[in-house]
Structure 1
Amino acid sequence: MSKIDAARKHANLEKPGQMLNTPRIYRMLFSQPQLMHFVEFISSPIYPQAVGYRSKTLQLSSVLEMTIPKVVRNIKTSRLIKCYTAYSKDQSYEKFSRSTLFKMLNCSVASLKKNHHGLDNITADGMKAVENITDFEMKGHLSYESTCIDHCAVHSLSDASSVNFRANCNHEHTDGCNNCCLVNNFFDQIETTFKSLLSLPTDVIDEFDHDSNRAKDQILSWKAHCFRTVHQDRAKTEVLRNLQDNQALVVMDWAMKLLPIKHREAQSDFFGKKGISWHILSLIMSWDSSDLDVYTFVHILELGNQGWFSVAHIITDLLLQIFITQPNISELILKSDNAGCYHCVPLISYIHNLNLHGNIDIKISQYKFSEAQSGKDICDAKTAHCKMHILRYTGEGHDVLTPEDMIAALNLNGGVKGVFASGIAVDQKYEIKTKAKIPNISSMNNFEFQAYGVMVVPFPEFVEEYYGKLAALKESVDMNENNNHDSNDTENMLEINELENGDCDGLFACPEQSCVKVYTHPRFLEAHIYSGNHVYSKNENSYDKVKRFGLKSVQQ
């Protein structure tokens, strides 16, 4: 009590002293190795998906804010924790409690993917039906030896107007598909119902016939488009599966033009901007049967347009960079979307000429195009990371107004991991003008470059060869067409029996809807997700399995 009285007396005589701001101390409830173990698991490319057009701001307890690319998680929180529990148990690793894992996921960088509300019900259901048909019906039933005429790839992909792109099936079509027959039955029912109506004007009947025939043609064309999309998507899977140590897959795409950004920008400077063109190339290499390495090359266009001439210069610069940085690579396989700057005769001719007379010992053996409206690939994810790096650069007080500023932004602080940025200038006045044409080039999606010319392989079962001096870019190209039937081995369907008959508890299932692939280790699942080699059940759907298991439980 004497000390308290002395303190009060001192306060009355000398005035109270100031309170000291003691430093805030945080207790570390989690061990650092355990925390990193969990963060590395949820950051695996299996679960999050980058969104290239938005960003997210994270606020720390110190009020410090961090801006990151928008990332969504395509799996529920409880299911992700269940996968992590099985993963930790498999490695005999001590994990956090379940409630702690939930709290850690709430503050993670990825947000859970949610449904969009307010959409038109018919539109939403229609788009979902399109995805189901493409992902399940087409992928699950497509086969070169199917006895169903709607599922037979040889019959469906044959071109009736071309002798070279037509083949005869070595089997009979004796089976039918109820789902595929619904389309033809639907047309017949509409026509029968309309004819049953009496006393209709002639102009109404003619208008209905015109609309119904046009709708029928469009529906069948869309069905053929879905079939070609699924078939062409297998090209990338086959390339990644058979990639050798001296080979690499290059995925190309133009990124959306980047508008100049100022650190402090007036409203009058916001309008009337001219975007900066930049091109993304993703180099995928395989060092062994399970691991894939990805390097990204960004070319910022200082002069020129987004035409084939600029793409030709970019490919030449890519070969030089690969020759310097990856000396073991001697063969490239190109893949891009169906844009006119890629899918054209001048670029195909230039690549063939580059293989014959180029000074770099790297050859381009194949060029594969995606089906129309199906060119989304890894380049979009890499573009999102580069954009966020540029935004951080502007947030530090810099301006990005020229291609040189973009290169400086991408190379700041060590740059983006695995990304090499460079500038390229193309003088369009040196572009070669040619009228050379390849008939129906828009329907040809697979090109192989040989010493004697360019071989067009529209589908694995058909081969058509074009011999001609394409590299000379003459006004006309002489082409001799030969029909060589090439039998392609069926897909490697290993592990399907194990998946259908085995127990999947504690394993890692593919997040792709309707895919039946299940793996025992995450690294196998990562390779499967990246290659896109999904396998779909052909025997029964999920509802049938529920009924079958329910029947067994009742019988027991």
Structure 2
Amino acid sequence: MDDDEAFCTFDWGQKILPQEHREAQSAYFGKKGMSVLVGSFVWKDSAQRLASTATTTTSLSSRTYSTESYIVAITNAAQTELDTLSAGEIITKQFKIDYPHIKKLHKRTDNAGNFSSHATPEAEKLICERLGIKLLTRDYSEVQKGKDICDRICGISKARLRSWEATGNDLLNAIDIKEGMEYAGGIKNTKIAVAEIVSDQGHLSKTNVPNVSTIRSIRYSPDNMKVFKASSIGAGIAIPYKKIDFETNMRI
């Protein structure tokens, strides 16, 4: 990667059940879980550091990498394709604000239906263009692989959330999720936001990508996107852009 590129991984976390600090066992049944979307970014540090050796000389150390993670908490979300794109836009927009020197992006998610539907590849490119970012590649990880950075961030954030709850707090909505995950200083290099879905808002045009469920890699060019069933194997199939329309259905 170049200095102006970043690699990001997105994943929905396991739903969080609302829970009072002290509640009857009967209150457990029939609960609806709350959603969290995690986005983690990795990029090269812009400056090399001097490394001291055993001798009196010094040399430039190898490049190191920086990471930043973002979590969007939503009280009620069906985790549809539109929900996923809207929450992803919130995360990408905040990352661009925090690190404006990043101009290009490589993205990876799993192959779940809300990440790999027909309109998602082109809609994600459209979102990045609106934010001044060029989306270069779009990869789908193998089953249960490649999302470990999101799982780690979500896991330690939930542990902090449980500690907050154990101090006598009730966990009832997305605002409580944010407060709990930021408890005792929060998690290093992690930001949490609360979003809500606005009814009767949001739009995503329909399109069709042949054999979309078998795609594992996408490469974007100005005129089309090339899709591959395996990363960097074969010539790929060029699919022209359909100029779809996307409008978010979320607000912070």
Q: Tell whether the structures are fold-level matches, with TM greater than 0.5.
A: yes
- Residue of structure 2 in register with 1:266 after alignment: 24
Between the aligned partners of 1:261 and 1:462, the Cα distance in structure 2 is 51
Between the aligned partners of 1:461 and 1:346, the Cα distance in structure 2 is 23
- Residue of structure 2 in register with 1:76 after alignment: none
Please state whether the residue corresponding to 1:470 is helix, strand or coil. coil
Between the aligned partners of 1:443 and 1:469, the Cα distance in structure 2 is 19
TM-fit CA distance, 1:466: 2.6
- Residue of structure 1 in register with 2:88 after alignment: 315
TM-fit CA distance, 1:467: 4.0
- Residue of structure 2 in register with 1:423 after alignment: 194
- Percent of matched pairs sharing the same residue: 24
Higher relative contact order (CA 8 A, sep 6+): 2
Runs of 4+ with >6 A deviation: none
- List runs of 5+ in structure 2 lacking aligned partners: 49-61, 246-252
Post-superposition Cα deviations, 1:92-120, rounded to whole Å, max 9, x if no partner, equal: xxxxxxxxxxxxxxxxxxxxxxxxxxxxx
Question: What is the count of residue pairs matched by the alignment?
Answer: 229
Matched, 1:393 2:151: no
Conservation of the 8 A alpha-carbon contact between 1:304 and 1:428: no
- Residue of structure 1 in register with 2:241 after alignment: 469
- Residue of structure 2 in register with 1:245 after alignment: 3
Between the aligned partners of 1:423 and 1:396, the Cα distance in structure 2 is 22
Conservation of the 8 A alpha-carbon contact between 2:125 and 2:134: no
- Bigger helix fraction: 1
Between the aligned partners of 1:347 and 1:361, the Cα distance in structure 2 is 18
Post-superposition Cα deviations, 1:428-460, rounded to whole Å, max 9, x if no partner, equal: 644546552211122211112222121223331
Between the aligned partners of 1:402 and 1:444, the Cα distance in structure 2 is 36
Between the aligned partners of 1:373 and 1:389, the Cα distance in structure 2 is 24
- Residue of structure 1 in register with 2:221 after alignment: 450
Between the aligned partners of 2:174 and 2:127, the Cα distance in structure 1 is 28
Matched, 1:339 2:97: no
Q: How does 1:142-291 map to 2 (within 5 A)?
A: 243-287=1-45, 289-291=62-64
Name the CA shift for 1:434/1:320 in 2 (closer, same or farther; >3 Å): closer
- Residue of structure 1 in register with 2:54 after alignment: none
Between the aligned partners of 1:286 and 1:433, the Cα distance in structure 2 is 34
Between the aligned partners of 2:199 and 2:138, the Cα distance in structure 1 is 24
TM-fit CA distance, 1:266: 1.7
Between the aligned partners of 2:97 and 2:144, the Cα distance in structure 1 is 35
Post-superposition Cα deviations, 1:444-498, rounded to whole Å, max 9, x if no partner, equal: 111122221212233313223434232326xxxxxxxxxxxxxxxxxxxxxxxxx
Conservation of the 8 A alpha-carbon contact between 1:309 and 1:428: no
Name the CA shift for 1:304/1:427 in 2 (closer, same or farther; >3 Å): farther
Between the aligned partners of 2:3 and 2:119, the Cα distance in structure 1 is 30
Please state whether the residue corresponding to 1:294 is helix, strand or coil. strand
Amino acid at match of 1:347: T
Match of 2:212 among 420, 423, 441: 441
Output the TM-score relative to the length of structure 1: 0.39
Amino acid at match of 2:226: M
Amino acid at match of 2:162: L
Match of 1:327 among 85, 91, 100: 100
Conservation of the 8 A alpha-carbon contact between 1:250 and 1:335: yes
Matched, 1:350 2:142: no
Amino acid at match of 1:268: S
Matched, 1:383 2:154: yes
Output the TM-score relative to the length of structure 2: 0.83
Post-superposition Cα deviations, 1:360-395, rounded to whole Å, max 9, x if no partner, equal: 222221111012343542111111101110011011
TM-fit CA distance, 1:414: 2.1
Please state whether the residue corresponding to 1:311 is helix, strand or coil. helix
Post-superposition Cα deviations, 1:29-81, rounded to whole Å, max 9, x if no partner, equal: xxxxxxxxxxxxxxxxxxxxxxxxxxxxxxxxxxxxxxxxxxxxxxxxxxxxx
Amino acid at match of 2:4: N
- Give the root-mean-square deviation of aligned CA atoms: 2.0
TM-fit CA distance, 1:285: 1.5
Between the aligned partners of 2:19 and 2:143, the Cα distance in structure 1 is 33
- Residue of structure 1 in register with 2:53 after alignment: none
Amino acid at match of 1:471: K
Amino acid at match of 2:189: G
Name the CA shift for 1:438/1:428 in 2 (closer, same or farther; >3 Å): farther
Conservation of the 8 A alpha-carbon contact between 2:217 and 2:227: yes
Name the CA shift for 1:246/1:435 in 2 (closer, same or farther; >3 Å): closer
Between the aligned partners of 1:335 and 1:447, the Cα distance in structure 2 is 10
TM-fit CA distance, 1:409: 1.1
Conservation of the 8 A alpha-carbon contact between 2:164 and 2:180: yes
- Residue of structure 2 in register with 1:403 after alignment: 174
